[in-house]
Amino acid sequence: MADTFGTVAEIISSTSDVPLGDIRPDSHIMNDLGVDSLAFLDIAFEIDKRFGIKMPIEDWLQEVNEGRAESAEYFRVGNLCQRIEGLVSRAAAPAV
Amino acid sequence: MRLEYFQMLDGIERLDTAGSICAIASVPAASSVFEGHFPGHPIVPGVLLLETMAQASGYMLLALDGFRRMPFFAKATEVNFRSFVRPGDRLSIEAERVHDGSGYVVTRGTIRRGGARVCDAQMMFRLVAFPSPELERHVRSEGVRLSFLSPAEASDG
């Protein structure tokens, strides 16, 4: 988790000009860090590349927009890191 | 090319469903664009060359996605205009999908003239539902003009 958080924080900082020290696990990427939708696409692109995954952002946004999930479940940095680790684990799991 | 109408592509030479395209375009000998850009030195504006690469990318994404969603140009990086493009030039436009994200796609485009690269860029697109039926009809009719869709397929949307 610590490595994932460090990588994600560095990505957020370098793509959106948010100072690295301002990014904490409980920071909400949009609400607290002020990341706009275009900057978030940059972040998603870097995370997808760096971790070799495809974050299902559309599904997450649909759940949020339909009231089936709180945006913090996906877009609070610590929660996002957990999602990333889950996606990495599934990507690494052998196919059955 | 019909520069005044942002109709940048004349035809498609190749579409690879793995995620690449090659299109062709001929720069018109005369256009009102050249009256201002520039008097005595007519060249295609760089922004229109970027638009040309974006359209090649966009139609590739439309074709790969069955014309279900509209790719909106969101970002360009590493844009290089390497030489002037003049009236009458015949261009080859290549684009490839670099990354297929969730709701967004990153592509890389290149324009060549006589095999020589004249400009290139990396581009990002958001894929969203068509915001208006009129736009969807227009894009699908362009899809017919460029031979991505049959007239029957264009009216199915």
B84-94 mean pLDDT = 98
Over range B49-78, report the average pLDDT. 96
User: Is residue B32 classed as helix, strand or coil in its secondary structure?
Assistant: coil
What is the residue type of A78? G
| pLDDT the model gives residue A95 | 65
Does B102 contact A56 at a Cβ distance shorter than 8 Å? yes
Residues 73-92 of B with CB under 8 A from A: 74-75
Closest CB to B75: pick one of A38, A56, A59: A38
pLDDT tens, residue by residue, B31-40: 999 999 999 9
Among A86, A88, A81, smallest CA distance to A1 is for A81
Interface of A with B (CB under 8 A): 38, 41-42, 44-45, 48-49, 54-59, 61
Strand partners, B23: B12, B93
Contact B101 A48 (CB under 8 A): yes
* Span B32-49, average pLDDT: 96
* B41 included as an active-site residue: no
B116-137 pLDDT, tens digit per residue, is: 999 999 999 999 999 999 999 9
Q: Are B21 and B60 in contact (CB under 8 A)?
A: yes
Higher per-residue confidence, B152 vs B115: B115
The reported pLDDT for the residue numbered B81 is: 97
How large is the ipTM?
Answer: 0.87
Query: The domain spanning residue A20 has which CATH number?
Result: 1.10.1200.10
Structural domain tally of chain A? 1
pLDDT for residue A72 = 95
Residue A67, φ and ψ in degrees, nearest 5: 75, 15
Both tokens of B101, joined, read 């994200």
Q: What is the pLDDT of residues A76-87, one digit of tens each?
A: 999 999 999 999
Predicted local confidence at residue B30, as pLDDT: 94
* Interface touch A58/B99, C-beta < 8 Å: no
Domains of chain B in start order, with CATH, are 3-136 (3.10.129.10)
Q: pLDDT band at residue A96, thresholds of 50, 70 and 90?
A: low
Average pLDDT of every residue of chain B: 95
- Report which of B19, B99, B78, B126 is spatially closest to residue A52, judged by C-alpha positions: B99
Structural domain that includes position A81: 2-92
Q: How much is the mean pLDDT over chain A?
A: 93
* Partner A contacted by B124 (CB < 8 A): yes
Per-residue pLDDT, A43 = 96
**Among B74, B102, B126, beta carbon nearest to A54:** B102
